[in-house]
Chains A and B, each alone.
Chain A
Amino acid sequence: MTGAAFYDVDGTLIRSNIVASFAWYARNQPTLGGSIKKSVKTLASLPMFAIADKVSRKLFNELFYTYYAGESEDRLVVLAEELFEDVIKPSIYPRTPALLDQARRAGLKNVLVTGGLDFTVRPLARHLGVDAFIANTLEFENGYATGQLGKPFVAGATKATIMRDYAAANGIDLARSYAYTDSYSDYPMLTVVGHPTAVNPDLRLRTVARSYDWPILDLR
């Protein structure tokens, strides 16, 4: 059996995050008025997002993705390429490609495991040349987002379950696998692999990494 390297994305491999992605969509509405309205609403909601994220990632997801309600699926997917060029690609950390290259040389599959939306992650995955990505999906009805995420959410403890399922389905030995994340909220994904690594870690994760003598990287 082979191993895999599982990567969180926001804050780990790239500087950008899902709020920045949504803010870009908000600024690029079909009409100027729509852009201004949505941008102001997003800006005003930032404190609420921050508080929700502190409570739980699940609550944050449930709250945040409602802001996508009413967005056209076609528009979201088509604009994703532009989003990648404008926002995501410039925010890739300088050492990210080297880390993925080294994992490839070590014979590992590279897999992104992210709370971002699949259509925003797809161009990044292609650019980085990863083998697979696992991301959140939006529910669409009649071609428009309902504001609900498809289940299960890719966040927190669910990432660990998703990784186990992926490993079982793809002949991956988790004991030989690696996981990389910057956030303590992703601690579960680090616990299911043989080689956990903290990347640009927040204070809580850095403390845990030091306690367990996990490697700590800085890709910035």
Chain B
Amino acid sequence: MRAVRPRTKGSLDEHVITIDTDSAPRILFYGEDFLSEDLPVGTRVIYPRRPIAALPNPRAAIRYALNHPEEMDPLHALLKPGMKVTIALDDVSLPLPPMRRPDVRQTILEIVLEMLGDHGVDDVHIIIATSLHRRMHDWEVKRMVGDEIYDAYWPDKLYNHDACDPDGMVTVGKTKHGEVVETNRRAIESDLVIYVNINLVPMDGGHKSVGVGLCGYESLKAHHTPKAIVNSDSFMHPDKSELAHSVTRIGRVIDEHMKVFHIETVLNNKMFDGPLSFLMKNEDDFTEADRLKFEAIKWTLKRTPRALRREVFMRVPAPYEIIAVHAGKTEPVHEKILAKCYEQYCVPVEGQADILISGIPYISPYNVNSKALNPLLVQVMALGYFFHMYRHKPLVKKGGVMIVTHPCSDAFDPVHHPSYIEFFNRLLPETRDAYTLEKKYQDEFAYNPSYVEMYRRGNAYHGAHPFYMWYWGQRGREWLDSVIVVGSDNATVPKILGWERADTLAEAIAMGRAKMGRSAQITMLHHPPILMTDVT
């Protein structure tokens, strides 16, 4: 390992730097740990944008948004005594990691519920828009909405959406493309639905909030498909996302039957602060104190069992702050919110890479408070999220190589992900072909009575969910030549995923160069926090 040097010479753009002979090693996430790696000279490292400053008075900003909505009357003008209102919330998958209390949903709910109460609206249900995600545990709900709202509403008037409740779901119709539109009965029978959203990534929000958050399996079948993912370039870029187009069609049908007042927020990417704030910095700018902190963390993690490391990581909430809030009609609201998302996340980058390096952290949207980031979710993070975090062009060339760092342990949470276990161990060894899996097995898993019961009454993801996780990586699989995982603690998982293995990053880079040429352009995504690339 090279000795640490002061700030590197190179690009003046602080977000895109080039490794030089005197550059510091780079830190990569490696599950519940970190790697510190010297990268080859000439490697491009892309850093996230600095966090945009928080709104100085979030509560005032929320009230302003409610009183000055986009293309709708102010919220207070929509209310009348005795009306039936349903509030729907984004679930535990956002934000990532969970933010410090008070959660933005609590802040918004406090203001909205007060307004509803002042206008004589008593028939209020709050539904967590889980779609086919798992039910949130009661303590997670309490953390999200705050103690007062939890005590007042849980469990009769504050509850998780149930996509498998035959009495609780309604088929509203079809889109002109024949996509089934089904939604939550309580919502469709309400006089007004208020959706409280957090946009962490540009795939979120818009018509996806109600159209997916409160939908059922038949509706999801329309767009959670390998074909839709492959035709989404990327699914973080709604204009070019087949997934988003389908969801928009569904959302417009829902709008014909449901009055939705949409409240959308954007959080900055301030994922770490205090003692961990150095993780947001360019390593060349580390002070001695930063280096000592990192070494201390590494030393401690090495001596801590994985399960305990995981618990510790999960207990460190992110200091996210609200940087934008808009309310009103879904589409104009979302347009403004997306613009802010891109402002926070998008980093302009010239030229694609031949080899893309990405650390994989301990967390994904689908394993918050779970016992593991299971192999399917490692794949989702690599090929589903990090591969798709671009506009215009993928950061890596067609036929390129992606290198990821993660232990890839063969570990699953049997309470949260029971269907994933069967999918990974029974189906993937048979075939990795997403189109075959969709046709042959998806309905079997979706209608498996045990998985349905675990979804409805336990805290399990729906039986069909592992399929979606596999599809999420489909475009990446079809685009790349190969994925090489560094530091896998077993041979089985990479084999089942169809990945190659390397013990060290240097070895992986050598393998990548053997495929792409010795002068292959190597780029590392330095995340989290989240970043997207605008590749030209």
Residues of A within 8 A of B (CB): 5, 95, 98-99, 101-103, 105-108, 176, 178, 180, 195, 197, 210, 213, 215-219
Contact = CB atoms under 8 A, between A and B. Distances in A.
A151 to B, nearest CB: 32
A213 B451 CA distance: 13
B450 A215 contact: yes
B53 to A, nearest CB: 47
A213 B412 contact: yes
Contacts of B444: 176
Given A215-B450, A217-B458, 5 more contacts: A102-B453, A105-B449, A107-B447, A215-B454, A219-B453
A216 B414 CA distance: 9
B452 interface: yes
B421 interface: yes
B80 interface: no
Contacts of B412: 213
A197 B450 contact: yes
* 3 nearest A-B pairs in the assembled complex, by CB-CB distance: A106-B447, A102-B449, A215-B450
A107 B414 CA distance: 26
A195 B448 contact: yes
A122 B164 CA distance: 30
A176 B458 CA distance: 23
Given A95-B457, A98-B456, A217-B458, A5 B449 contact: yes
B458 A218 contact: yes
Given A210-B414, A213-B421, A178 B450 contact: yes
Instruction: Label chain A's interface by main secondary structure.
Output: mixed
Contact of A95 (B166, B421, B448, B453): B453
Contacts of A215: 414, 418, 450-451, 454
Contact of A103 (B425, B449, B458): B449
Contacts, number: 51
A216 B413 CA distance: 12
A155 B450 CA distance: 23
Interface string B404-440: 0000000010100010011001000000000000000
A210 B457 CA distance: 19
A195 B450 contact: yes
Contacts of A195: 448, 450
Contacts of A107: 447
Q: For A5, A98, A218, which residue has the most chain B Cβ atoms within 10 angstroms?
A: A98
B458 to A, nearest CB: 7
Contacts of B447: 102, 105-107
Interface string B444-479: 100111111110111000000000000000000000
Nearest to B451: A215
Q: For B164, B418, B449, B454, which residue has the most chain A Cβ atoms within 10 angstroms?
A: B449
Nearest to B418: A215
Given A213-B414, A213-B418, A213-B421, A178 B449 contact: yes
Contacts of A5: 449
A99 B453 contact: yes
A111 to B, nearest CB: 13
Nearest to A209: B414
Contact of B448 (A98, A106, A210, A218): A106
Contacts of A219: 453
16 contacts: A95-B457, A102-B164, A102-B447, A102-B452, A102-B453, A105-B447, A178-B449, A210-B414, A213-B412, A213-B418, A213-B425, A215-B451, A215-B454, A216-B414, A217-B450, A217-B458
Contact of A218 (B164, B452, B457): B457
A134 to B, nearest CB: 19
A143 to B, nearest CB: 41
Contacts of B421: 213
Contacts of B452: 102
A102 to B, nearest CB: 4
Contacts of B425: 213
A5 B453 CA distance: 14
A18 B414 CA distance: 32
